[in-house]
Chain A
Amino acid sequence: MTVSKREVIIIGGGPAGLAAAVKLKQLGIHDLLIIEREKELGGILRQCIHDGFGLTRFKEALSGPEYAQRFKEEVLKLGIDYITDTTVIEISADKQIIAASKEGLKTYQSKAIILTMGCRERTHGAISIPGARPAGVYTAGVAQAYMNLKNIAIGKKVVILGSGDIGLIMARRMTLEGAKVEAVFELQPYPSGLPRNIEQCLNDYSIPLFLSHTVTNIKGTSRLEGITVSQVDERFKPIPGTEKDYECDTLILSVGLIPENELSLLAGVELDERTKGPKVDENFQTSVKGIFAAGNVLHVHDLVDYVSLEAENLAQNVAIYLNNGELDHCSINIETDLNFGYTVPQHISAKKDFKVSMRVKKPYRNCRIDILQSGHIIKSIKMRKAIPAEMIQIPVKWHELKNFETLKVVVVND
């Protein structure tokens, strides 16, 4: 068995992996390898043929494949090593990697591993919708892959459950290809997708969005024949008497994304119950020394631009790690009140500047986000609106910290 040695191995050649690779190379780390399981680099961007990517990172609107192309060109120009059609099947805490491809099983030993495997969709089964199990029920990403990558049409009369961004994008996409999208139903009392997607994908095509609704029955023994939707109360229980039937042959689910950390767990990486991604410090280092994570494998982002920026930030820290052999110890925890879903990072050193990413659990208008230490506000941001669909990032300078106590992030109504 031959073992190939590398300084850095990046698992996953999607937006996070590509951005990390390019940045590392620019910082003088040359011995790196991207391992990608698909035939091409680009990750989920390959199937996102709509535009709106890159407004932050490149100051222009690009399609998903165009956005990926910017990074792929850099990868080629800089001569970064990558292999495709190769699936990592094992990783260990001592940073050994086994990957399978048609050429065989390859073993690698790396000084650092960067986890950029992205996320997967929450499924039909995971949300336990009552009713039958006919054909014609697809998650939004699977529907998108069939349509945009395989040229396969999945249905003609569509209902969408969940107002996640991919679901909204698919509402427009299917309408443009001649399907009739009856409506979008969202369990929460607010949309989970971005306001611009509500506007451009639903309102522009007169597709109604019903908040506080869910699917309470699926009908059809072979192909989907129809669904029943009900209004839900504040505890998300269907309200009897509010049932309404829709005839449809397709139900698309856009009910959330889950960071994909099966490999991370094999290496003993500790996960955060809230994000379902690794717990990381300000350097994006996980609980296992030398294993780093960024992008949707860490926490689900709203925009790919922030994925790239996060991965570039990670790359700077990985470069320091490789040059110095270690990074500052991060023993200060960041906590939140109950109004936030999570923060990333979860730990800091208080020795350098960092950026806290977070999402509120429900919408706020004219609120303040305070970062407290020992009961004192060390940072306060006023926000006209804060919504669950949008990730909030607050940069903190190390000198703004008062001491080495836990940080707490809270939201305050102004």
Chain B
Amino acid sequence: MLQLSIQGVMTVEKIYDVIIVGSGVVGSAVARELSRYKLNIAVLEKELDVCSETSGRNSGVLHAGFNNRTGSLMAKYCVEGCLGFDQVAKELNIPFKRTGKMVVGFNEEDLAKLKSLKEQGDKNGVPGLEIVGKDQIKSLAPHIGGEFALYSPMTGILNPFIYTIALAENAHKNGAEFFLDHEVTSIHRSENLYWVNTKKQQFRTKWVINCAGLNSDKIAKMFGIDDYTIYPCRGEYFILDQKAGQYLEMPAYPVPNIKVGGLGIHITPSIDGNILVGPSTEYIDEKDNYASTQKIMDLLIQDGGKIFPYLKREYFIRNFTGIRPKLVGENEGGYADFVIEKRKSIPNSIHLVGIESPGLTSAIPLARRVVELIAQDQSLTENKNFDPDQKGIMNFKEQTTEMKRTLIEKDANYGEIICRCETITKAEILEAIHNPLGVDTVVGIKNRTRAMMGRCQGGYCQTRISELILEEKMKSESEILYSRNGSNMFVGKVRSL
């Protein structure tokens, strides 16, 4: 039975075992790992899609774990996440490649730093690290600059959107409920339950898992935990055309300046064949200021050009920015460790705070830790129906000519190419529009299919995709959203017919 809460919103009848706040990669991984057990799980997300903030706005690198202080949670979980990723990628059917990575140096000082980085990595249990000379750089990655490098064979690349979406959809398939556009406004405890308020509905739950990333400090405060402050630290990127992709075999990083709190401006191939240049490291005041700036763009071109000679303007197809949820401010610099905390004084709540890089790599190990922490307080019953496997949207372009023929025979919509740059078919777009989480923003379709991500940036296909959303979701023009609330694409019809 629904009842009216104090805020004037309806209370959801079901009492959840676990509510996860935030559906970035960590929240989605927690939802998936918890769905292995018989639990009623709800995920509350303030944005209109999963992976809308830090999780999707990064280099898409699966880190090996040599950058992090030995003994830290970052080092431990990063190594565990990296070594176990083949299995995860297989289950979730996501594109992933262990490309290896070069951290390149130019002088003696760099070499000394690379050696100590290797030592740290060895201690952390990172396999295969090697200091290589110019010849070896040239044989492994002919276009990367540098006199010598730390070569890490285990480092890989993945599409962070596809990964997070796969985690969330797999959790959803295994029973977790996703409530998008549900920003948590307050939480209070009564009757041994947490009452979680959003603008739309009120929820009751035994456990709350705070995976709110940039807002994890704000959520922690709702529990009376005032210890944490998230310092938003912006990183800007350029995306280069796939035509430049042929020149880069693996991510190339400069020697990191530990004090700065970022890994330095690096060049990374994306799993889809583009190149990312960035990110910068700039502490800002707002947690949702994703603007690019001229100053940083100039810096990216200057610094990126030192390690990659094909950083040409004709290859630029887009800029984007991400924001690191750092637990240390500009003056302190560097990295704080991941916080994953359960306090005796505040029962049944677990707080994951300051999950910045290597959070993408560490998501599954962090989620497993959440399961352990819950299991300390209550016995968990295995969900016998749990299916770890997920089938993503099949990419037509990647198939053999014979398979393409078969696909079109089975479903004629595979014969209609909607996005010409990335060769995305109508069948793929329709599957994305009817995604299990119910996301119907233009960016939601883009992140699920790669349509509009190519060099024409939707010049050809965006009108078609908008039209398909209109038709399939029976919406009016003024209801079509680009990404978030208020991002209306259109104002209506030109003329009423």
- Chain A interface residues toward B at CB < 8 A: 37, 85, 87, 89, 98, 100-105, 120-121, 123-126, 128, 130-136, 139, 141-142, 145-147, 149-156, 177, 216-218, 221-223, 238, 249, 262
Contact = CB atoms under 8 A, between A and B. Distances in A.
Contact of A152 (B239, B293, B459, B466): B466
B415 A130 contact: no
B320 A100 contact: no
Given A125-B318, A153-B491, 14 more contacts: A98-B401, A101-B415, A102-B408, A104-B409, A120-B459, A125-B317, A126-B317, A128-B297, A133-B290, A135-B482, A151-B497, A152-B494, A154-B489, A216-B294
A121 B417 contact: no
A153 B494 contact: yes
Instruction: Rank and list the top 5 A-B pairs by shortest CB-CB distance, nearest first.
Output: A222-B486, A125-B318, A135-B482, A102-B412, A87-B417
A151 B497 CA distance: 9
Nearest to B241: A126
A142 B463 contact: yes
Contact of A142 (B318, B458, B482, B492): B458
B370 to A, nearest CB: 31
B294 A123 contact: no
Contacts of A177: 494-495
Contacts of A98: 401
B4 to A, nearest CB: 30
Contacts of A132: 289-291
A131 B417 contact: no
B104 to A, nearest CB: 25
A131 B420 contact: no
Given A100-B408, A146-B490, A153-B494, A123 B417 contact: no
A102 to B, nearest CB: 4
Please report whether the interface of chain A is mostly helix, strand, loop or mixed according to DSSP.
mixed
B203 to A, nearest CB: 26
Interface in B454-486: 455-460, 462-463, 466-467, 477, 481-486
A317 B289 CA distance: 57
Nearest to A139: B459
Contact of A155 (B455, B483, B487, B491): B491
Contact of A125 (B319, B421, B487, B489): B319
B415 A103 contact: yes
B423 interface: yes
A86 B456 CA distance: 19
Nearest to B319: A128
A120 B417 CA distance: 17
Contacts of A128: 238, 292, 297, 316, 319
Interface in B392-428: 401, 404-405, 408-409, 412-417, 420-421, 423, 425
A123 B317 contact: yes
B485 A222 contact: yes
Interface in B126-145: none
B288 interface: yes
B316 A126 contact: yes
A43 B319 CA distance: 30
B488 A223 contact: yes
B421 A262 contact: yes
B408 A133 contact: no
Given A135-B489, A142-B458, A152 B415 contact: no
